[in-house]
Structure 1
Amino acid sequence: MSHPAVPDDRPRKVWIPPAISTLITPVLGFLALAFSVISQMVCDACSEAENRSYSASFYPAWTVLCCGVGLALVVLLASWVLTRRRPAAAKFLAVAAPATVFLAWVFFMALVDWP
């Protein structure tokens, strides 16, 4: 007795966008954090007033960048969780994770009062 073939309606290879995002997002996050730490050296030769202004704007911007990178990692994890249940949402989140890192870096650059 043979069983009728049941068509598999699930989309194939939905794991590829989260896998690519897993390769890209941590690297972008590391580069964004490394650049922001190194950017503190821009104010080594600043006057006292410029240094005070730079430091006052740097620390809130650093917090925004760290929260943005953390949010990107949460979005990346969510893209893996939703891979089988909601493939379209998983693809969207896989694209949104590196975009979140980039957006956090843009906010960092905009918030810092550069000398």
Structure 2
Amino acid sequence: MNPTPTPTPTSDAGADRHPRAFVAPLVSTLLTLPMAAVAFFFVGLAPMVCDSCGSAVSGRFDDSYDLAFPVFGFGLVVVLVVLLSAWALPWRRGNAAARVWLAVIAPAAVVFDFIVFHGLVDWP
């Protein structure tokens, strides 16, 4: 009647660590941040489109821009959260697929955010 031995902790605790876990978030960061900066630049220039508009057209444009700009800003915050989530996942092999998906979603979310902004604005 030998009692079963209790398992002892091994030094294989770091064996599950993915050696290239940083690649997908790094590539995503190098794409997403410049894309977000360029999108923010063009969104900031958008009010110049209606500099020579009449008062009625200008009023409609300003009202729609006043709604679209905060929506765009919130979208950029969502992009930042997704990008940080790609970096924050534990660097284990089991999280590789989620990390890659988050890394792909971040730049796609910038494009989607810009499309939503463009759709919300009542362009002249």
In the superposition, the TM-score normalised over structure 1's length comes to: 0.89
Q: Determine the C-alpha separation between the residues in 2 that align with 1:97 and 1:74.
A: 9
Q: Which residue of 1 aligns with 2:51?
A: 44
Per-residue deviation, 1:10: 4.2
Query: 1:1-115 maps to which residues of 2 (within 5 A)?
Result: 8-85=15-92, 86-115=95-124
Unaligned runs of 5+ in 2: 1-11
**Unaligned runs of at least 5 residues, structure 1:** 1-5
Misfit runs of 4+, over 2 Å = 8-12
Identical-residue share of aligned pairs (%): 39
What RMSD over aligned residues (CA atoms) do the two structures have, in Å? 1.8
Matched residue count: 111
**TM-score for both structures, normalised by structure 2:** 0.82
Per-residue deviation, residues 36-71 of structure 1 (Å, max 9, x unmatched): 111110100000000000000001111111111111
Specify the structure having the higher radius of gyration (Cα). 2
